[in-house]
Amino acid sequence: MTTAFPDFGLTPEQRRFAVRGHYYEYPGMDGGRGEIWCYSDRFSYGPGEKVTLFVSSTASRFDLEILRDGAGETPVLTERNIAARWQDTPDQCSVLGCGWQDSFEFRIPEEWPSGAYRLTLRAEGRDGAPIHCYHLFILHPAPARKTGRILQVAATGTWTAYNTWGGSNHYQGITGQNRDQYATSVSTQRPWCRGFVVLPKEAPRVPLEVSLQVGTTPRYPHMEWAYATGYSKKYASAGWASYDGHFFRWAERAGYEVDLASQHELHFKPEILDGYDCAVFVGHDEYWTWEMRDAVDAFVGRGGRAARFAGNFMWQTRLEDDGRTQVCYKYRARAEDPAYKSGDVTRATNSWEAPEIGRPGSATFGLNSTNGVYAGWGGCAPRGVRGFPVCRPGHWAFAGTGLFYGDLLGADSHIYGYEVDGLEYEIRHGLPYPTKTSGAPEGLEILALGMASQVEESDVLAPEDMFFGDEDGRFIAETLYGEASDENLEKVRYSNGMIVNFPKGRGEVFHAGTCEWVAGLLRNDAMVERVTKNVLDRYLKR
C-alpha cells in the first residue's frame, strides 16, 4: 500500500466536484466526436428468444460483435454495416425510458450456453476516429434438472438503481422542479452507464488502498478516477464489470458449471430456481422486490442452498410496466410512496427493516443492512480491518484454511467493505451470539465479525470533506425508531459486518455480508478462494 492518494490530474475544485457534484452520461455529451449508444428490450432472455437492440448513433452504420464473457471470452456473433441513425431522447429518459425505434433484432440460438453476453458496437465518429459502446444481456437457462450446477443471480436491481445514464438514478438526478432530485422510478429502457459492462484493470475499487498517515482526510480515488476518465460516477458501486462478472469468471475457471439469471427471473419466473442445489448472489446487492424474496425463501424452504457473498440488503423495490420500471422512494418513502396511503404498506419501497413492512432482511439471508453498512472508505473505518475477523475457525466453511480465532480472512485482498450487513449481537466468553431481538433465524451461527459505521466522524474531517455525514444514520434512526433524534442516532451510529450460516426449512444459507468478497476472487486470494469452494462444494454435494 502506498501512503499517497493516486493523482489523476484533477485540480482541488475538480476533485471536490468529482465526489459531490452530479455528472452523468447523456446523448450529445461527446460533442464533435460523435457517439453510439445501445440498450435492449430486456435484461435477460432464454434460449431461442428474440433480442431487440435500440441504437442511437451519429454514424449511419455500425459493426456489432457479441462475445460470451465467462472463463474465456468466446465470440458468438459478428454483424457488419448495420444501419443506424440519431434518435431523439426525452429529457426524463432515466425515468420514462429512451423510447428509441428498434435498430437490430436477432434470435438466440438454442445451443448458446447461459451466461453474460457482451455487445461491442463500433462506428466511425464525426472526425473519422472510431467510436464505440458496450452493452450486456444475460442468457438465462432453460428449465431442466440442474444437478451439480450453480445458478448465479446477477444484482440487476442494484445495477438499475445506480445507472447514471440520462441523468437520474435512485441516488442523484435531474427530476423535480429544480432538476436536483433523485428519481423514485427508473427505467430499464436506456443504455448502461460507462463502466458497468467493461472496465480497465486500473479502475480503483471503493475501499481505500492507501495507508492513511496521521491526520489525513480520506479521499475518494474511484470517483476522482471516474471524473478524470469519463466513466460513470457510479461505476464502482454496481454493474457486471465491478462485481458480478468477477464471481462468474472465477467460478467457471475454477471448474464450476454456472448458469446466470437476472433478478427479473426471480420476480417473474421463480421456477428458474427449480432443479438447482445452489443459488449464488454476489457483490453489491441492495435492491429486491417482495416476490424475489419469496422465490429465494421457497427455494431454501424446499431444500435449496443459498450462498450470498454480497452486501447491503437494504431496499424493497416494486416493478411496474412488466419490469421496465423499478420504483424505490427510499428516504422519501414515508412521505411520498402511495403504498402508505392507499396500498399495501408491506410493499412500501423503504428499508426492509422499516417496522411497517414486517420483513427484515435477516428473515431471508440472516443479516440486516441497517445493522451494517460502511467500512473501508471515507469517514467510515478507512483504516479498518480489510478482512473478516474470524471468530469460529472450526466451522466447516473454514476447513483446510488454517485460519485461527482472531485471524483476518481476506485482508490481503481487502474483501471487507465497502458496505456490509450485520446483526445485533452480544459477546459471551469471546464468542458473538445474535441477541434475542436481532431477528436472526433459529440456529444462526456467527462465523466472523467486523466493525462498521453508519456515520462519518472525526476531529480532522471537516464538514465540507464529508460524503454523507450523518444523513444515512439519521434516516436509519428514524426508520427503525420513529425519530431522527440524537438519542436514536446513537443506537445506529456503530454497527457491524458478519459471515453467518444457518439452516432453514429443508435447506441452508451461507452469507458473507460484504460487497467486496469478489475482490478476493479477482485478486486470487487463496484463503478466500478456499472458503468459497468449501461453501459451493458442500452446497453442490460434491
Binding to Fe ion in span 189-228, by CB under 5 A: none
The reply to whether 169 sits near Fe ion by the rule CB under 5 A is no
Q: Which is nearer to Fe ion, 495 or 534 (CB)?
A: 495
Residue 414 beta carbon to Fe ion: minimum distance, rounded to whole angstroms: 17
Residue 157 beta carbon to Fe ion: minimum distance, rounded to whole angstroms: 11
Residue 288 beta carbon to Fe ion: minimum distance, rounded to whole angstroms: 12
Residue 120 beta carbon to Fe ion: minimum distance, rounded to whole angstroms: 29
In sequence order, what are the beta bridge partners of 117? 68, 137
Residue, CB closest to Fe ion: 312
Residue 416 beta carbon to Fe ion: minimum distance, rounded to whole angstroms: 15
Q: Which is nearer to Fe ion, 161 or 296 (CB)?
A: 161
The reply to whether 58 sits near Fe ion by the rule CB under 5 A is no
Q: Which is nearer to Fe ion, 124 or 286 (CB)?
A: 286
Q: Which three cell numbers stand for residue 402?
A: 488454517
Amino acid in the structure at residue 61: R
Q: Is 66 helix (H, G, I), strand (E, B) or coil?
A: strand
Could you tell me which stretch among 17-25, 82-90, 307-315, 476-484 binds Fe ion (CB under 5 A)? Answer: 307-315
Q: Which is nearer to Fe ion, 24 or 377 (CB)?
A: 377
Q: Which is nearer to Fe ion, 419 or 465 (CB)?
A: 419
Q: Which is nearer to Fe ion, 353 or 419 (CB)?
A: 419
Could you tell me which stretch among 85-93, 308-316, 365-373, 448-456 binds Fe ion (CB under 5 A)? Answer: 308-316
Report the C-alpha gap between 394 and 357 in whole angstroms. 37
Angle between helices 221-229 and 12-20 in degrees, nearest 10 = 100
Q: Which is nearer to Fe ion, 297 or 419 (CB)?
A: 419
The reply to whether 312 sits near Fe ion by the rule CB under 5 A is yes
Concatenating the DSSP letter of every residue in 132-161 gives EEEEEEEEPPPSS--TTEEEEEE-HHHHHH
Q: Which three cell numbers stand for residue 534?
A: 468449501
Q: Which residue is listed with cell 439519521?
A: 474
Concatenating the DSSP letter of every residue in 11-52 gives -HHHHHHHHHS-----TTTTGGG--EEEEES-SEE-TTPEEE
In sequence order, what are the beta bridge partners of 310? 283
Could you tell me which stretch among 115-123, 180-188, 289-297, 312-320 binds Fe ion (CB under 5 A)? Answer: 312-320
Return all residues near 67 (Cβ < 8 A) that are at least 6 apart.
73, 74, 75, 76, 117, 118, 120
Instruction: Build a one-symbol-per-residue string for 244-283: x at contacts with Fe ion by CB under 5 A, - elsewhere.
Output: ----------------------------------------
Determine whether 87 is exposed, middle or buried from the number of CB atoms within 10 Å of its CB (0-12, 13-18, 19+): middle
Encode burial over 321-334: b for 16+ CB neighbours within 10 A, e otherwise. eebbbbbbbbbebe
Answer whether 353's CB lies under 8 Å from 368's CB: yes
Question: If we measure between CA atoms, which residue out of 404, 382, 380 comes closest to residue 394?
Answer: 404
Q: Which is nearer to Fe ion, 54 or 162 (CB)?
A: 162
Count of residues that bind Fe ion according to CB under 5 A: 3
Q: Which is nearer to Fe ion, 140 or 330 (CB)?
A: 330
Residue 419 beta carbon to Fe ion: minimum distance, rounded to whole angstroms: 5
Cα Rg, the chain, nearest whole Å: 22
Instruction: Build a one-symbol-per-residue string for 410-449: x at contacts with Fe ion by CB under 5 A, - elsewhere.
Output: ---------x------------------------------
Report the C-alpha gap between 511 and 446 in whole angstroms. 10
Pairing verdict, β 61-69 and 73-83: antiparallel
Residue 311 beta carbon to Fe ion: minimum distance, rounded to whole angstroms: 8
The reply to whether 286 sits near Fe ion by the rule CB under 5 A is yes
Q: Which is nearer to Fe ion, 327 or 540 (CB)?
A: 327
The reply to whether 472 sits near Fe ion by the rule CB under 5 A is no
Q: How far apart are the first and last CA of the chain?
A: 38
Q: Is 392 helix (H, G, I), strand (E, B) or coil?
A: coil
Could you tell me which stretch among 95-103, 223-231, 309-317, 332-340 binds Fe ion (CB under 5 A)? Answer: 309-317
3-state secondary structure 463-487: HHHCCCCCHHHHHHHHHHHCCCCHH
Could you tell me which stretch among 203-211, 285-293, 298-306, 354-362 binds Fe ion (CB under 5 A)? Answer: 285-293
Residue ranges that bind Fe ion, judged by CB under 5 A: 286, 312, 419
